[in-house]
Amino acid sequence: MGIGQAREHAPADSKTSGSGSREEGARLDRAAVEQAGRRLADRVWRTPVIRCDQLDARSGARLWLKAENLQRGGSFKVRGALLAVEHLAASGSRGVIAQSTGNHAIAVAFAARQYGLPAIMVLPSDAPPAKIHRIREAGAQVVTAGTLLADRVAAVAELRELHGYDVIDPYQNPHVVAGQGTATAELLDQTAAEGVHLDAVVVPIGGGSAIAGACLTAEGRGVSVVGAEPQAVPALTTALRAHRPVTVSARHTIADGLRPDRIGALPFALAHRAVAAVETVSEEAIADAMRAAFLHARLVIEPAAATALAAALEHASRHGADVGVLLSGGNVEPSLVASLLTGQEPFAPHTATV
């Protein structure tokens, strides 16, 4: 699929992408992910694929955990951000703006610093303080705007007007989507090197860049792409039923990274034709998966990653014997982990939110 075609699917969101004219001629397909992987070599960690007997036993499948919680910046999003910022820097950009629930902003801030570009990040007002801290640590400015995707998109438009910076959309930018796909591509390569053909990969769904990238790289490889989203924010489930992106009425979820209440148009276009299934999981299952990752796999994962793990623990055996799980990030609020470990109830929203 060419970028032009992808963008035709994305009229509603295309105004949030500030890089339109710069992308002409790029293609967005499995080869684009492979090319992205080559460009990222030695710039991101080749994160390990981790096995865990106890999680295998619970899921009834062999789980291959792609530990992007161990990635630079604490999530897979640095992959796409580096490519997008690199492209803009080469095009003479004066600065970058991005809206994000957190990890895309951390990643863009990290990448912008590498290229010496100023960066302004727009986050929801209830974003985890740990994520905001990491963005500021990377030298970017943080602006908060409401709790809904639409609030952030509006703020981005204003800031873009004011500063003349380029917007790096977290779900629509083709460099971002290709870059995010490299996490799944690496997982498939790493398991293949062990002589294992994955039957499925489970990826969490926020705005959709992870699943979009996974769909691209899984193309023609005989691996099912399974989405995982909180029951509280069933953005892709609802969109697939409606055959178009829909703004859902989101309830509170501890999976702060998966709070976007609408799937991006580009991810939807890719997922619509390629996704094998979308599993929704409860807040309790997400919390339980975070605990299980901690206690059994000794990994610190954030609730978005735990959403994919929860879906795998509950449903992996329906999708095959060897199932990959994208542990998307590890930027979690320490107090949330502490409360999970001491058996406290983490589900009540501690701030006003959607």
Contact residues for a second copy, defined by CB under 8 A: 45, 48, 50-53, 67, 69-70, 72, 74, 294-295, 297-301, 330, 334-335, 337-339, 341-342
Cβ at position 69, least distance to a second copy in Å: 5
Residue 140 Cβ vs a second copy, minimum distance, rounded to whole Å: 16
Query: Smallest gap, in angstroms, from Cβ of residue 318 to a second copy?
Result: 26
First to last CA, the chain: 35
| Cβ closest to a second copy, residue 55 vs residue 210 | 55
Cβ proximity to a second copy: between 71 and 93 the closer is: 71
Do 213 and 239 touch, CB atoms closer than 8 A?
no
Dist CA 142 CA 203 (whole Å): 28
Question: With left for phi above 0 and alpha for psi between -120 and 50, is residue 208 left, alpha or beta?
Answer: left
- Strand 166-167's sheet: what is its strand order? 141-144, 119-123, 96-99, 166-167
Q: Which is nearer to a second copy, 163 or 296 (CB)?
A: 296
Token pair belonging to 13: 């969101």
Nearest Cα residue to 327 out of 283, 270, 289, 277: 289
Residue 202, strand partner residues: 226, 325
Closer Cβ to a second copy, 74 or 95, answer by number: 74
- Of the pair 132, 157, the CB lying nearest a second copy is at 132
Find the shortest distance in angstroms from Cβ 284 to a second copy: 18
Q: State the minimum distance, in angstroms, from the CB of residue 134 to a second copy.
A: 10
Vertex 290 angle, CA 352 and 259, to 5°:
35
Q: If we measure between CA atoms, which residue out of 101, 90, 105 comes closest to residue 138? A: 105
Nearer to a second copy, 123 or 301 (CB): 301
CA–CA separation, 349 and 341 (whole Å): 18
65: phi > 0 → left, psi -120 to 50 → alpha, else beta; which? beta
Query: CB 303 → a second copy: shortest distance, Å?
Result: 14
Per-residue b or e along 213-222, where b marks 16 or more CB atoms closer than 10 Å to that residue's CB: bbbbbbbeee
Location of structure tokens 């299934």: 277
Our CB check for a second copy shows the closer of 73 and 207 to be: 73
CB 338 → a second copy: shortest distance, Å?
4
Tokens 């990238």: give the residue.
213
Closer by beta carbon to a second copy, 162 or else 295? 295
For residue 131 the two structure tokens come to 């994520």
- Is the Cβ of residue 68 or residue 261 nearer to a second copy in the bound state? 68
What whole-number distance in Å separates Cα of residue 348 and Cα of residue 345? 7
Tell me the closest approach of the beta carbon of residue 47 to a second copy, in angstroms. Answer: 8
CB of 294 to a second copy, least distance (A): 6
